[in-house]
Amino acid sequence: MGEVNLTDVRKEYEDVVAVEGMDLTIEDGEFVTLVGPSGCGKSTTLETISGLTTPTSGTIEIAGRDVTTKPPKDRNIAMVFQNIALFPHMTVYENISFGLRLRNFDKEEIDRRVENAVEIVQLEGMLDRSPDELSGGQQQRVGIARAIVREPDVFLMDEPLANLDAKLRVAMRTEIQRLQKELGITSVYVTHDQEEAMTMSDRIAIINDGQLQQCSPPLECYNRPVNTFVAQFIGSPSMNLFDGQVAGDALDVGDFSVAYDTAGTPLVDGDRVTLGVRPEDIYLASDADDIAHPSTPVTVSVDVLEPVGDQTYAYLLAETDGETTELLMSLDPDKEINEDETVEVVFSRDDVHVFDGAGDAVVHSLVDPSAAADDVTIEGEA
Amino acid sequence: MSEQQYSGLTGRIVKYAIHNSTDVYRLGFWVGLVSFIMITLFPFYWLLVLAVTPDNQLYQMGIVPDNFNVGVFLTVVQEYPLHHYIFNSILIATITVIVCITLGSLAGYAFGRVDFPGKGPLLLLLLVISYFPGIAFLIPLFELLTGSLSILGTPTPDLYNTPWGMVFPFTMLSLPITIFILTTFYSQIPDGLEDAARVEGTTRLGALFRVIMPLSAPGVVTAAIIVFIGVYREFFFSFIMTDGSPENWAVLVYGILNFQQQHTQMYNMMAAASLIGIIPIAVLVILAQEHIVRGLTAGGLKE
């Protein structure tokens, strides 16, 4: 009943195209996060779902009804805003019951629902307060209560945690997840924080330059990014990307090369490629025995070390003929490694991604799928 | 520096002033304050003196009244329909305020919160029109409002001696300032609140009247007061658009003027009527002041 369907949605502002060719289906009860850098069109997409913006073209369906040109009030949606947007001239009770009162629910029904919503978000006893007497977290809970009290088809959240402090944000994140599971309401959540997206969602829709890049479960986005943008956006720290080309039986990125037979892939000798390796998939050569398929070692010098506690980020430089390639690896803080030292590192060949000249993924592992047990498929298109 | 330079009275004063600058500033403050109060309050005092001086002694009236004739305040109410004039004024001003705030809110919403082509020039045009003197519109407006014009064969309605004959030009003259004030206030309400209202189930108009207007209370009250006072004290159109009888919606200023008859000029009654006429405005401003203060402190937006 709460399914959301976007078909070829496009939104232009004067001469700027904010969203283009957006096809997205959100199943009933699903939690989908729209994520991307600022200005990528994720908020615009949400606004077209909410009806605060009418798309230039394309259709939007909510719960099986075409709502493309319907105003927000006729869509049976509820929204939680980044700036919380509680009505300052109303008490908590009036804020939460605003939508119900507009729809002329009778007093008893309103009281019952408000009571229930307040219990869910744990704000009992605050109904008579005005929003400015509440803390940031409490205000956002009121915002959430205002949304759930209407029992909407779809729950829209536009960076609801962005204005909260770091600790509260993590706590609220869990709370929103719990709530969503409990209520089972279809939810669309917008954030620029990939970590929030990874931890909360059933599926992540990664958007860049107004276009949907990939919409998959979090781990699939992480393990099988469809292009270099997704590869870099998901995961922290970002994936290392090395520009190079196919040179015979190897992928040559200048300062080092990785053996790979391109037979069976669309790549041919001389094609431009981009190699993607996550910092956590680079190992010291001395630990090569720990991984199934290590690559040939690459000699690098250690530039900078950044200990963050549970791991240490090492910025490495691979150097030949005066040219340098920068690599970032994350390693166990117990490893004895010093700045300016020269070390050898290997990549886990199972986890090296190859992207073609246009940045689209070709393979997500250099290990032959028939040799290895896992089923690596070839994804050509974004 | 020798003492010689500060000799004489002037010298001593200058010396004192230099060494006690705080006293000089304080003196300056009091001189300024007292002058300001004198300038603003003296006319009221003068009206009072004028009102209570018996009319046969008006020709030798001084700063302090020689005789008190307090009965004049009763006379103007009992023997003349002053209350009727005041009622007319308040009613016409109220209608004008309602029309101005309603239309001004719609315009203020558009100018303050919606982007549309030609917004800048349109606002400028409004500003330009607001500087036109009302008298410039006198003849066309008079013709329009007395049924002397016909538009597409239909004669315009004759609004002479009706409240609408005054409400119409007053609205026209007061709208630009109303729109400007409301545009400023409405534009400051965060978009999120309007979005929230619309998602919760209001239309754009609903959001304007349920959320944006209440949150702009100080602006709305200010605009309303300005319009109300402007209309209440307006003379020109009030004088043109009625024949001066209270039954025909003559307003307070016309009523006061009616004390000035062909051969006699009852200045004391005019003064008394003026003083009574001030009361509604004074009450209104005192009430509104509280509203404005409350509106300003309500706040609480998180943006």
Q: Render pLDDT for B92-148 as a digit per residue (tens, 0 to 9).
A: 999 999 999 999 999 999 999 998 999 999 999 988 888 888 888 888 888 888 888
Closest partner residue to A52 (CB to CB) among B193, B195, B299 is B195
* Residue whose pair of structure tokens reads 């502002």 in the numeric block: A13
**B72-75, Cβ contacts within 8 angstroms, sequence gap of 24 or more:** B72/B268, B72/B269, B72/B272, B73/B272, B73/B275, B73/B276, B75/B269, B75/B272
* Residue whose pair of structure tokens reads 């990528």 in the numeric block: A40
Closest CA to B181 of B150, B216, B223, B228: B223
**Dihedrals phi, psi of A323, to nearest 5 degrees:** -90, 145
Residues A52, A44: Cα–Cα separation, whole Å: 9
CA-based Rg of chain B, rounded to a whole angstrom? 26
pLDDT for B301: 40
Residues A339/A302, Cβ–Cβ less than 8 Å? yes
Q: What is the per-residue burial (b if ≥16 Cβ within 10 Å, else e) of B283-292?
A: ebeeebeebb
Residues B112, B126: Cα–Cα separation, whole Å: 14
Residues B142, B165: Cα–Cα separation, whole Å: 9
| Angle at alpha carbon of residue B110, lines to B104 and B115, rounded to 5° | 155
| ipTM of the predicted assembly exceeds 0.85 | no
pLDDT for A379: 45
Residues A194, A237: Cα–Cα separation, whole Å: 11
Instruction: Report, as an integer, the average pLDDT of B199-219.
Output: 91
Q: Within an 8 Å CB–CB cutoff, is residue B115 touching chain A?
A: no
The helix/strand/coil state of A283 is strand
In A67-86, the residues whose Cβ lies within 8 Å of chain B are 71-73, 77-79, 81-86
Q: Within an 8 Å CB–CB cutoff, is residue B200 touching chain A?
A: yes
Instruction: State the alpha helices, DSSP H only, in chain B.
Output: 8-19, 21-52, 71-78, 82-113, 119-130, 138-145, 164-187, 191-200, 204-207, 213-215, 217-232, 236-241, 252-257, 267-298
Alpha-carbon gap: A223 to the closest alpha carbon of chain B (Å): 37
Closest partner residue to B200 (CB to CB) among A88, A98, A139 is A98
The helix/strand/coil state of B171 is helix
Q: Do the chains contact at B192 and A85, CB–CB below 8 Å?
A: yes
Q: Within an 8 Å CB–CB cutoff, is residue B302 touching chain A?
A: yes
DSSP state of B67: S
Q: The whole model's pTM is what? A: 0.79
pLDDT at B302 over 70: no
Angle between helices A92-102 and A107-120 (to 10 degrees): 130
Q: Within an 8 Å CB–CB cutoff, is residue B202 touching chain A?
A: yes
**Concatenated DSSP letters for A12-71?**
EETTEEEEEEEEEEE-TT-EEEEE-STTSSHHHHHHHHHTSS--SEEEEEETTEE-TTS-
Residues 6+ away with beta carbon under 8 Å from A322 = none
Which domains are present in chain B? 3-60 (no CATH), 71-298 (1.10.3720.10)
Beta pairing partners, A294: A348
pLDDT for A247: 87
pLDDT for B293: 59
Residues B236, B230: Cα–Cα separation, whole Å: 12
Tokens at A31, concatenated:
């939690």
Averaged pLDDT of chain B: 86
Residues 6+ away with beta carbon under 8 Å from A106 = none
Q: Render pLDDT for A260-303 as a digit per residue (tens, 0 to 9).
A: 888 778 888 888 999 999 999 999 998 888 888 888 888 899 99
pLDDT for B256: 87
pLDDT for B5: 67
Residues A156, B195: Cα–Cα separation, whole Å: 12
State in Å, rounded, how far the first CA of chain A is from the last one. Answer: 30
Neighbours of A2 (CB within 10 A): 21
Q: Rounded to whole angstroms, what are the CA distances from A44 to A20, A62, B74, B240? A: 11, 17, 69, 56
Alpha-carbon gap: A158 to the closest alpha carbon of chain B (Å): 11
Residue pairs between chains A and B whose CB atoms are closer than 8 Å: 77
Q: What is the per-residue burial (b if ≥16 Cβ within 10 Å, else e) of B194-220?
A: bbbbbbbbbebeebbebbbbbbbbbbb
Please give the single-letter amino acid code of residue A173. R
Residues B207, B201: Cα–Cα separation, whole Å: 9
The helix/strand/coil state of A167 is helix
Residues A49, A273: Cα–Cα separation, whole Å: 37
Residues B179/B223, Cβ–Cβ less than 8 Å? no
Residues B218, A88: Cα–Cα separation, whole Å: 14
The residue ranges of chain A whose pLDDT is under 50 are: 372-382
Mutation site, A75, A77, A83, A141, interface B, largest B CB count within 10 A: A83
Residue of A nearest to B301 (CA): A88
Which domains are present in chain A? 4-224 (3.40.50.300), 230-363 (no CATH)
Half-sphere exposure of B216 (CA within 13 A, CB side): 31
Residue of A nearest to B296 (CA): A89
